[in-house]
A and B are shown apart, each in its own frame.
Chain A
Amino acid sequence: MPDERDLTPEQEARVSRLLAEARHDGPIPADVAARLDRVLAGMADEEVERPGQQAAPVVDLAARRRRRAVSLLAAAAAVVVAGVGIGQVVGPDRGGDDGATSAGAGAAEDSADSERKAQPKGAPERTQSDRLGSREEPVWLTTKSFARDVRRYRTAGGVVSEGDAVVGDNQLAPRRARFSCGAASYGPGTLLAAYYNGRPAVLAYRPPGGDTQVVELLQCGSGQPIRSTTLSLH
């Protein structure tokens, strides 16, 4: 290759030396190590509770929420989502808990701007009633406000309450006819249909581990993580 012939062995060695000098020799930062430890502890707890299983068992609270979310199934016929359980979260206009309703309204106001920015041309047209807090709709996320929005959706929708270890299952519960997401294994926890920078994705609130909860944004059709964050439950 031409570019390979451009360098003499000495020049290659000098580039290698520059790279070697730029090697990172420090230990892993304490906050990253602590975060990884929390994630590991959460996964270990999960395995102890459900060894070898990917899907989370449904607890009573989840069943109760699911009963109240029956309307979320209405658009199932036109949606190609498979294996995504997003039926556990009830919006304020569906008789959700009062606390969740209040928080959802606040979050709707706060995130409206970022949501508008995230909506691409050709994306499903949204109305006032589609705004954050209405759990029938996919949640809207952007790169910039990801962590903040993830926290707000959790609070607003009552995604997982404190001490509520598992609220999700893999029940089909699409939110909107025009939202589509290919089948894949998205893992345990509460899964929400999402638009990330205008693209369909799955937002997975993993079962809490101790005082933290890992939230992963997953690629439609593959379940591969796009990004993740860890929420403190304190």
Chain B
Amino acid sequence: MPDERSDIELLRAHVEGDHAAFGELFARHRDRLWAVALRTMGNPEDAADGLQDGMVAAFRRAGSFRGEAAVTTWLHRVVVNACLDRIRAAKVRRAEALPEDLEEYGDRGSTTTATGEAEDPADLSEQAERRRQVLDALATLPEEQRAALVLVDMEGYPVAEVALILDCPVGTVKSRCSRGRARLAELLAGLLTEDAPEPSAPGNRPVVPPVSSTQPSRAPPVEG
């Protein structure tokens, strides 16, 4: 029987000692959190690590949630931050890697990050090839631009909510998206040529289920 408590009720219950409530809360949103982590990190292994980091952080910091944003916004924020922390740490490690490590990092770099998704059954199809090229190009962007594009263009979240998730002004989100798209346009010039504009099809955003929340997004949550 599904738990009918709201997100905020589950989070409060967890803070009060009902840790099963956190499991219910996380299970409710983990598919979308996984998608964000996967596209932000670029490969399933790192995405799993990033998502786990975020889950652990959310579990431990739940008491610091002040209800100033939606619980889902807060969860996304914690997970995205965990992923970005991992990416930054990996960049430091790459910069300091010994020559012996470089071969391995090559396996984890941008040229292969989007190709390891065993769940994609159509990896030989034209669509899959196009997707691979897009993800490869996405992986070359600075992590802040990548995270913004994943949340806005891929996941379809409103810019205002993404600003809360990334803890930055709306204008910064827009700027990151614009710069990221400009860079992608260069990298994907061939695809854009093939992909003729369709004036009659203005709706290019995916249909994203609304973020289920009982709390309005008013301000960034305070994290401990």
* Distance of A48 Cα from B20 Cα, bound (Å): 11
CB 8 Å contact bits of B130-171 with A (1 = contact, 0 = none):
110011001000000000010001111000000000000000
Q: Tell which of B52, B98, B104, B184 touches A228, judged by Cβ atoms closer than 8 Å.
A: B52
Query: Contacts A22-B134, A35-B48, A117-B98 hold; do A40 and B26 have CB atoms under 8 A apart?
Result: yes
Q: Count contacts on A: residues with CB < 8 A to the other chain.
A: 53
Query: Contacts A32-B34, A43-B56 hold; do A117 and B153 have CB atoms under 8 A apart?
Result: no
* B5 at the A interface (CB under 8 A): no
A32 B51 Cβ-Cβ under 8 A: yes
Which of A2-10, A98-106, A132-140 lines the interface with chain B?
A2-10
Q: Is the interface of B mostly helix, strand, loop or mixed?
A: helix
B188 A15 Cβ-Cβ under 8 A: yes
Residue of B nearest to A121 (CB): B98
Which of A60-68, A171-179, A218-226 lines the interface with chain B?
A218-226
B195 A14 Cβ-Cβ under 8 A: yes
Residue of B nearest to A43 (CB): B59
CB 8 Å contact bits of A1-26 with B (1 = contact, 0 = none):
10110110011111111111111111
Residue of B nearest to A26 (CB): B119
Q: How many A-B residue pairs have CB under 8 A?
A: 171
Q: Count contacts on B: residues with CB < 8 A to the other chain.
A: 65
A219 B182 Cβ-Cβ under 8 A: no
* Distance of A27 Cα from B44 Cα, bound (Å): 12
B134 A3 Cβ-Cβ under 8 A: no
* B69 at the A interface (CB under 8 A): no
Q: Tell which of B19, B89, B93, B154 touches A23, judged by Cβ atoms closer than 8 Å.
A: B154
B204 A17 Cβ-Cβ under 8 A: yes
Q: Tell which of A16, A33, A197, A219 touches B98, judged by Cβ atoms closer than 8 Å.
A: A197
* Distance of A20 Cα from B184 Cα, bound (Å): 13
A21 B131 Cβ-Cβ under 8 A: yes
A117 B178 Cβ-Cβ under 8 A: no
Residue of B nearest to A145 (CB): B104
Q: How far is the CB of A135 from chain B (nearest CB, A)?
A: 25
A12 B178 Cβ-Cβ under 8 A: yes
* Distance of A43 Cα from B204 Cα, bound (Å): 41
A21 B155 Cβ-Cβ under 8 A: no
Query: Contacts A15-B185, A16-B181 hold; do A4 and B175 have CB atoms under 8 A apart?
Result: yes
Residue of B nearest to A1 (CB): B179
* B12 at the A interface (CB under 8 A): no
A19 B49 Cβ-Cβ under 8 A: no
Most-contacted residue by chain B among A18, A37, A40 (CB, 10 A): A18
CB 8 Å contact bits of B41-83 with A (1 = contact, 0 = none):
0001001110111011001100000000000000000000010
- Chain A residues contacting B86 (CB-CB under 8 Å) are 225-227
Given contacts A28-B51, A32-B47, A228-B49, 19 further A-B contacts (CB under 8 A): A11-B181, A11-B192, A15-B184, A16-B204, A17-B195, A18-B191, A18-B192, A19-B153, A22-B135, A23-B154, A24-B35, A35-B52, A40-B23, A40-B26, A44-B20, A143-B104, A144-B101, A144-B104, A198-B98
- Name 21 interchain pairs, CB-CB below 8 A, sorted by A: A7-B181, A11-B185, A13-B197, A15-B185, A18-B130, A18-B134, A19-B154, A21-B131, A22-B134, A23-B154, A26-B119, A32-B48, A32-B51, A40-B59, A43-B19, A47-B17, A118-B98, A142-B101, A143-B104, A144-B101, A225-B86
What 4 A-B pairs have minimum CB-CB distances, sorted nearest first?
Answer: A44-B19, A17-B204, A28-B34, A19-B153
Residues of A at under 8 Å CB distance from B? 1, 3-4, 6-7, 10-29, 32-33, 35-37, 39-40, 43-44, 47-48, 51, 117-118, 120, 142-144, 196-199, 219, 224-228
Residues of B at under 8 Å CB distance from A? 17, 19-20, 22-23, 26, 30-31, 34-35, 38-39, 44, 47-49, 51-53, 55-56, 59-60, 82, 85-86, 89, 93, 96-98, 100-101, 104-105, 117, 119, 127, 130-131, 134-135, 138, 149, 153-156, 175, 178-179, 181-185, 188, 191-192, 195, 197, 202, 204-206
